Amino acid sequence: MAYVADWTINELNKMFDARRRNQFDCNVLVTGGTGKGKSSLILKMLLRFDGFHHWQHQIYSREDTIRLLRDQKFSFCWNDELIEVGYKREHWNNLQIELIKTLTQYRCNFNIFMGALPVFFTLDKELLKLFAINIDVIKRGEAIVHMRRDGRRYSDDPWDTKANAKLEEEWSKKIMMNPSFKIPYQKYSTYIGHLYWTDITEKQRAKYEAIRQKKKLAIVEAKQEEDQKSKPFNEKLVEMMLAKDIDYKTFENICKLNNKSIANTRTAINNILKQRGVNDRVKDLLAVNPFIKNNPNAELLEQLKEY
């Protein structure tokens, strides 16, 4: 039977610090269901490091994540909602691609980067490969610590997901047969131990919540301002879609040329169509149209440069 190891926060912190002082990356992914204490755990860990500044290092946007990782050395970066930064269905997003490049190119800055995420597999696959450690919170005060399996040249699966998924299938069947079955987490090939901790103080939680609310509000306000600036651009696109002047490929090219998020632009245009009482949505208007004008891309891209 595999050995069950228990870690303390101080021991893990020493390991994190040793990794970067030995010139290894120290990107730590903390996963677990909503309300299980992911953020509380990260805060408790980071507060024990000299040089951690709560307001500066608790962040929520891709832009701030990239900035901290790029501009700091031997410091900290804590993205409290990593789903907003590295969601796998936004793998094409320019800022997401830049984040992957930043984590790779600026690894020599040796920052401790920690991110909170509810579900492990919702993160972009290439981002997952860049995390060395995964702390999976199974209940408040208890987590399983996993480490990426390095050194396998021909494997594209450093988290050994196929083998570990088979284990979970076996355990699931046993739980169905016996609800009191105790899961042997130590059998995971990536397992390096258990972590136990106590909760943060009410004062620490209050400060965390105040920072969270203020920074998330700033992101919402910035997005609203950007939406206002994008309004002429979106209105122009709506007219072109209604006139059947563009197809989906042209729409994508227009967004990329203007550094606009395809997903956000699509949502904004659907809202405009709804406000105008048009039943069609972007997916309907940009369906393949056999009557589309010949090769409109160059002219339309030129028209939209001013927006």
Please report, as a single letter, which amino acid is at residue 216. K
- Angle, vertex CA 75, rays to CA 59 and CA 195, nearest 5: 80
Spatial CA neighbour of 242 closest among 286, 274, 277, 275: 286
Q: For residue 40, is it within any domain?
A: yes
Q: Give me the residue label for tokens 């500044």.
A: 53
Q: Is the pLDDT of residue 212 over 50?
A: yes
Q: What pLDDT does 288 receive?
A: 53
Spatial CA neighbour of 82 closest among 141, 131, 153, 44: 131
pLDDT band at 293 (very low <50, low <70, confident <90, very high): very low
Q: What pLDDT does 3 receive?
A: 62
pTM to 2 decimal places = 0.76
How many domains is the chain built from?
A: 2
Domain extent, residue 23, equals 6-200
pLDDT in tens, 225-259: 877 777 788 888 999 899 888 888 889 899 988 88
Spatial CA neighbour of 192 closest among 136, 145, 150: 145
**117, 83 contact by CB (below 8 A):** yes
Q: What pLDDT does 166 receive?
A: 96
Of 200, 232, 258, which residue sits at a domain end? 200
Could you tell me if 11 and 41 lie in one domain? yes
Could you tell me if 101 and 232 lie in one domain? no
Spatial CA neighbour of 236 closest among 221, 257, 222: 257
pLDDT band at 297 (very low <50, low <70, confident <90, very high): very low
% of the chain surpassing 90 pLDDT = 60
Could you tell me if 189 and 266 lie in one domain? no
CA distance linking residue 260 with residue 273, whole number of Å: 19
Question: How far, in Å, are 49, 60, 73, 109, 113 from residue 211 at the CA level?
Answer: 19, 10, 23, 25, 18
CA distance linking residue 219 with residue 88, whole number of Å: 21
Could you tell me if 180 and 227 lie in one domain? no
Q: Is the pLDDT of residue 34 over 50?
A: yes
Mean pLDDT estimate for the chain:
88
Q: Is the pLDDT of residue 197 over 90?
A: yes
Q: For residue 144, is it within any domain?
A: yes
- What are phi and psi for residue 110, nearest 5 degrees? 55, 45
Q: Across residues 281-304, what is the average pLDDT?
A: 58
Q: Across residues 137-151, what is the average pLDDT?
A: 94
CA distance linking residue 228 with residue 62, whole number of Å: 21
Q: For residue 150, is it within any domain?
A: yes
% of the chain surpassing 70 pLDDT = 89
Q: What pLDDT does 97 receive?
A: 83
CA distance linking residue 184 with residue 181, whole number of Å: 9
pLDDT in tens, 147-165: 999 888 888 889 999 999 9
Task: Point out which residues pair with 6 in neighbouring strands.
Answer: 194
Q: What is the CATH number of the domain that holds 138?
A: 3.40.50.300
Could you tell me if 166 and 29 lie in one domain? yes
pLDDT in tens, 85-129: 765 555 556 777 888 899 999 999 999 999 999 999 888 888 899
